[in-house]
Chains A and B, each alone.
Chain A
């Protein structure tokens, strides 16, 4: 029995023979991770423990994100790796090279062209779509750690949805500094049930997870725990009734390369004491510059428009 040309055989579907496992991890490890991720998607925001294998980078350098990426990736994927918004920093370049060597997948710096994005501490500015997965590297998955040092008790508190103490943390910041100073990992309630520590993405990026079209996987390799924000799921930053959540104020900052405003900026201090601002999302900046020269696709719609308005009306007060 021979297959007709229109029906692909197993041989056509399988990747080429290699002397190492496809995507580095052995099949059972990947299967375990995929099961973990399914569980995490089924329980939005719940921290699911997993085995966390050895990978050839040190714990704390994105092993959690890397393992999630390696077990999700397939031959037809396109990969983008972000490190604090940049595609070319050491961490991002190493991870991208490693994954592409172990899988042979195409890589890109264009957030909308990638199917799989591994990121350290940023969500791209352009709106991600339904067929995309964002993997975030997480150093500390436990939002309750600062108020409850005992992990067993913290788990009970998660089980009881007993999150009152998180407001105590915000209260302390308001009393001490007169405003909320939590710049990253802003505690957020997912699907009205579990509070997560959304990796250390800035406050600017947290709303992007709310009712997002893409799937977000947050994976902590050192702490061996993984959680997810599935597509179209509510993510609400914790706030007081009389003090609404606010993202970082980017007004008055203009990217000196692209002229873009109202995006998350990096501040570059100058010798004369002034500062220049530059888009933190390097891939987006590159896309704008290329498009201006007629060399590449036009940038797509962003989460925050040029007036700084968020794309979900009424979500940010």
Chain B
């Protein structure tokens, strides 16, 4: 053993053993960009979330897996400030919101924060897009809500953002209702990243797409992550998506976190019986 923890008592006997202090992964030495503590939410008799903690570091992708009804989407709605929890703290390390519990913001402040700093891609594009407006208009919506009032700028930003999500610019003025599912997801993605948000939330971004399109969208997401260094949270029940995209993973069931850790650690050596079942439940 050459590597041992600096505070381990084992080295006191052998003075000849060279002690190399363990270094935490670089990822975790930085201050987390997102910290949520003790988030709980009850819908009548149903416990949707119970004491959920989430930490997300800069440039990291966190996967959340779990079956339907496990609270994944509710958690994502909370993190997108669409819904209020019964209790819990939520901070983002943004200069203007430092140390502030975001769940206590007013409706207007929540909306401002959401527009400027959080991007979201829904599974159902009808939730995230205006289906009859042009695709570029959907992207421009973000900027317009953030106060941009110059048409040429809106147009240019729409182009840049759609190109970044690999959307064919010849169709940038077509309404999403005329586009395929994969392209609709790309429009959602372009809209989400238009203002270079600190946090990107993906709610089952590739569910419902056929496998080849799924792969293309995942490729785009990986490239965006590499190029822009955005922190993302991906919710999915597809372990393949999590394995491709995420660094760390959280397994949820009945509104609680059962297990969390690095992706290969959790998916290759699951500890919790439910996770073991989930990993082996492959068709």
A42 at the interface (CB under 8 A from B): no
A243 touches B108 (CB 8 A): no
The 4 closest A-B pairs by CB, nearest first: A164-B145, A240-B151, A241-B150, A160-B108
Per-position contact with B for A148-169: 1 when CB-CB < 8 Å, else 0?
0000000010001010110110
Give Cα A22–Cα B141 distance, bound, in whole angstroms: 52
**Chain A nearest Cβ from B72, distance in angstroms:** 26
Within 8 Å by CB of A175, from B111, B130, B137, lies B137
Provided the pairs A175-B173, A176-B173, A242-B152 are in contact, do residues A168 and B133 lie with their beta carbons within 8 angstroms?
yes
Scan residues 262-277 of chain A and give those whose CB is less than 8 A from a CB of chain B: none
User: Besides the contacts A174-B151, A240-B150, what 14 more A-B pairs have beta carbons closer than 8 Å?
Assistant: A160-B107, A162-B111, A162-B145, A164-B141, A164-B145, A164-B146, A165-B144, A168-B130, A168-B140, A171-B144, A171-B151, A175-B137, A175-B173, A243-B151
A32 at the interface (CB under 8 A from B): no
Count class of interface residues, chain A: 10 to 19
A164 touches B173 (CB 8 A): no
Within 8 Å by CB of B136, from A156, A175, A243, lies A175
| 18 A–B pairs (Cβ distance < 8 Å), ordered by A | A160-B108, A160-B111, A164-B141, A164-B145, A167-B149, A168-B141, A171-B140, A171-B144, A171-B151, A172-B133, A172-B134, A175-B137, A240-B149, A240-B150, A240-B151, A241-B149, A242-B150, A243-B151
Give Cα A242–Cα B111 distance, bound, in whole angstroms: 27
A162 touches B108 (CB 8 A): yes
**Chain B nearest Cβ from A149, distance in angstroms:** 11
**Chain B nearest Cβ from A156, distance in angstroms:** 7
**Chain A nearest Cβ from B112, distance in angstroms:** 9
Per-position contact with A for B150-175: 1 when CB-CB < 8 Å, else 0?
11101000000000000000000100
Give Cα A164–Cα B116 distance, bound, in whole angstroms: 13
Give Cα A165–Cα B145 distance, bound, in whole angstroms: 7
Give Cα A172–Cα B154 distance, bound, in whole angstroms: 11
Q: Give the tally of cross-chain contacts (CB within 8 A).
A: 48
Residues of the A chain whose Cβ atoms lie less than 8 Å from the Cβ of B152: 242
Give Cα A174–Cα B130 distance, bound, in whole angstroms: 17
Residues of the A chain whose Cβ atoms lie less than 8 Å from the Cβ of B44: none
Residues of the A chain whose Cβ atoms lie less than 8 Å from the Cβ of B147: 164
Scan residues 102-159 of chain A and give those whose CB is less than 8 A from a CB of chain B: 156
Residues of the A chain whose Cβ atoms lie less than 8 Å from the Cβ of B144: 164-165, 167-168, 171
**Chain B nearest Cβ from A146, distance in angstroms:** 11
Give Cα A143–Cα B166 distance, bound, in whole angstroms: 35
Residues of the A chain whose Cβ atoms lie less than 8 Å from the Cβ of B150: 240-242
**Chain B nearest Cβ from A27, distance in angstroms:** 41
Give Cα A175–Cα B152 distance, bound, in whole angstroms: 11
Name the residue of chain A whose CB is nearest to the CB of B145.
A164
Residues of the B chain whose Cβ atoms lie less than 8 Å from the Cβ of A242: 150-152
Residues of the B chain whose Cβ atoms lie less than 8 Å from the Cβ of A240: 149-151
Residues of the A chain whose Cβ atoms lie less than 8 Å from the Cβ of B133: 168, 172
Give Cα A242–Cα B153 distance, bound, in whole angstroms: 9
Residues of the B chain whose Cβ atoms lie less than 8 Å from the Cβ of A162: 108, 111, 145
Scan residues 89-116 of chain B and give those whose CB is less than 8 A from a CB of chain A: 107-108, 111
Name the residue of chain B whose CB is nearest to the CB of A238.
B149
Name the residue of chain A whose CB is nearest to the CB of B152.
A242
Give Cα A61–Cα B140 distance, bound, in whole angstroms: 38
Scan residues 161-216 of chain A and give those whose CB is less than 8 A from a CB of chain B: 162, 164-165, 167-168, 171-172, 174-176
B107 touches A156 (CB 8 A): yes
Give Cα A240–Cα B134 distance, bound, in whole angstroms: 18
Give Cα A33–Cα B75 distance, bound, in whole angstroms: 48
Residues of the B chain whose Cβ atoms lie less than 8 Å from the Cβ of A243: 151
Scan residues 226-244 of chain A and give those whose CB is less than 8 A from a CB of chain B: 240-243
B111 touches A171 (CB 8 A): no
A172 touches B151 (CB 8 A): no
Give Cα A174–Cα B136 distance, bound, in whole angstroms: 12
Name the residue of chain B whose CB is nearest to the CB of A166.
B144
Per-position contact with A for B163-195: 1 when CB-CB < 8 Å, else 0?
000000000010000000000000000000000
